[in-house]
Amino acid sequence: MRIKKILSPEWGQEKIAISGWVRTKRGSKNVSFIALNDGSTINNIQIVAEGSVFSEELLKQITTGSCISVEGNLVPSKGSGQDKEVLAAKIVVLGIADVDEYPLQPKKHSLDFLREKAHLRFRTNTFSATFRLRHTLTFAVHKFFNDRGFFNIHTPIITSVDAEGAGEMFKVTNLDLENLPKNPAGKVEFSKDFFGTKTHLTVSGQLEAELGALALGKVYTFGPTFRAENSNTSRHLSEFWMIEPEVAFSDLEKNMDLAEEFLKYCIKYCMEKNADDLKFLNKRFSDEENSIKKENRLEMGLIERLEFVLENDFVRLTYTEAIDILRNSNHNKKKKFNYLIDGFGAELQSEHERYLVEKKFKKPVIITDYPKDIKAFYMRVNEDNKTVRAMDILFPTIGEIVGGSQREERLDKLEARIEEMGVCKNELWWYLETRKFGTCEHAGFGLGFERLMMFVTGMKNIRDVIPFPRTPQNAEF
Ligand code: 4AD
Ligand code: MG
């Protein structure tokens, strides 16, 4: 039996048996009150253990962090704070937790401290709520696409192509690094490597997803992606999960509609399914806000912000319009940006994205039609031959949460872009063949799963929404 079910109004059985981890124990010689949690819900169940039933020796072993199983009767609670409690008839201590060594004491620990205890942090309210939400969000993703006739495809994790052309990849090899095979020119002989060629961990499943879409119509991937960029920020992971839908007979407008509907669906699904967890995280979020200076506080609470996103259309504007707004902003004039905007061609930094979302529009924003020079080779070139059919979705506090585009389906234009960007054409022969054999308009996007997790949970560091974060200089656990 699990505590979530037992605490629900529908539960009708008196005799119960549960197992879980002790959060706190208080009381006297005559009676102990144990708050037990089994991970099924944020709520603990209160166990009442009477001194006349249990030996002092057994009760002494029940401390914060210990694991016990309990049999007893579910009765209306005499105390305040809970409707029901368990009058214990039998308790077995499955695993003790040394009081002096167990690091999670019943008090507030910092997130930095808990990151170092990633093996135990699941047992805190904050992280159990977060990781239950992570499950729900995963489920929402699959449900959304399944209900709309998409097929999930598994794209390779080890690959020989650089899908984003950004070159920030982790190498995969089984060559002896102390004794590398070299060719006469002194270069490493990758034909001697495991796969007979240079390989790395994928940065995106998009190129393979496109192959799927151009046969199955609508597909999506949901897998781990790896980026070796040395970005030690609160929004970057070296290993993160990305959802990439790809749709045939779709253009940029339909792509934006799909992304907006998808994001709203996932948020709503979490609000419906994990209301208790979100209530807890909402309070945590407000407490945190109240502990900082008034002028730095956000305008909305966590749940309020989620509702706000559900109720409002995302603002859509072109890159050129965004640049005009930024260049003419007081922020730019007063040199408050670290990177000042002088005109077309500038990369949007997260400070600019956040200005547009949080100060200017106060809504999620979709920016389209970026200059081709700052975007990947596969994006469809516009008539102006200067911009591409790209779209980035920007969220409050997060910045970029989705990146996508209508793809270049015209073989000649695609080849020209590959040439122009200096991308290795030989490796992409199979990608190019789809443009030769029955090509069609198609579009897709990539959602950074952890970025959406940050938005839904209100957690401010991306390391706290994935169980075991991988970041520069850190691969523990
Ligand atoms: O904008 P990106 O690089 O787009 C692609 O990879 C395309 N192939 C997607 C597509 O069109 N199918 O990455 C997509 C999203 C970003 O918007 C961001 O949310 C997330 O992935 N992302 C990261 N999340 C965490 N850590 C990182 N280092 C990330 N890099 C990108
Ligand atoms: Mg991007």
What's the CATH code of the domain at 264? Answer: 3.30.930.10
Tell me the per-residue pLDDT of 137-155, one tens digit each, with 9 for 90 and over.
999 999 999 999 999 999 9
Quote the CA–CA distance of 158 and 14 in Å, as a whole number.
53
Q: Please tell me the predicted confidence (pLDDT) of residue 123.
A: 96
- DSSP annotation of 351 reads H
| CB neighbour list of residue 431: distance below 8 Å, 6 or more residues apart | 161, 207, 210, 211
The response to whether residue 458 sits with its C-beta less than 6 Å from ligand 1 reads no
Q: What's at 263, amino acid-wise?
A: L
Quote the CA–CA distance of 404 and 445 in Å, as a whole number.
4
Whether residues 445 and 339 share a domain: the answer is: yes
Phi, psi (rounded to 5 degrees) for 126: -60, -50
The response to whether residue 204 sits with its C-beta less than 6 Å from ligand 1 reads yes
Whether residues 98 and 241 share a domain: the answer is: no
Domain final residue, candidates 82, 107, 132:
107
Whether 475 maps to a domain, the answer reads no
Domain, as residue range, for 65: 3-107
Whether 192 maps to a domain, the answer reads no
Q: Read off the pLDDT band of 431 (50, 70, 90).
A: very high
Polymer length in residues for the chain: 477
Can you read off the two tokens belonging to residue 8? 């629900």
390: helix, strand or coil: strand
Q: Domain tally for the chain?
A: 2
Whether 291 maps to a domain, the answer reads yes
Quote the CA–CA distance of 399 and 450 in Å, as a whole number.
13
Whether residues 368 and 394 share a domain: the answer is: yes
Mutate to test the pocket of ligand 1, among 242, 348, 367, 388 (most ligand atoms within 8 A of CB): 242
Report strand pairing: 390-395 vs 84-95.
unpaired
The response to whether residue 237 sits with its C-beta less than 6 Å from ligand 1 reads yes
Buried b (16+ CB within 10 A) or exposed e, 119-150: ebbbbbbbbbbbbbbbebbbebbeebbeeeeb
Strand partners, 403: 392, 446
pTM of the predicted protein model: 0.96
Tell me the per-residue pLDDT of 347-367, one tens digit each, with 9 for 90 and over.
999 899 999 999 999 999 999
Q: Read off the pLDDT band of 424 (50, 70, 90).
A: confident
Tell me the per-residue pLDDT of 207-225, one tens digit each, with 9 for 90 and over.
999 999 999 999 999 999 9
Whether residues 15 and 80 share a domain: the answer is: yes
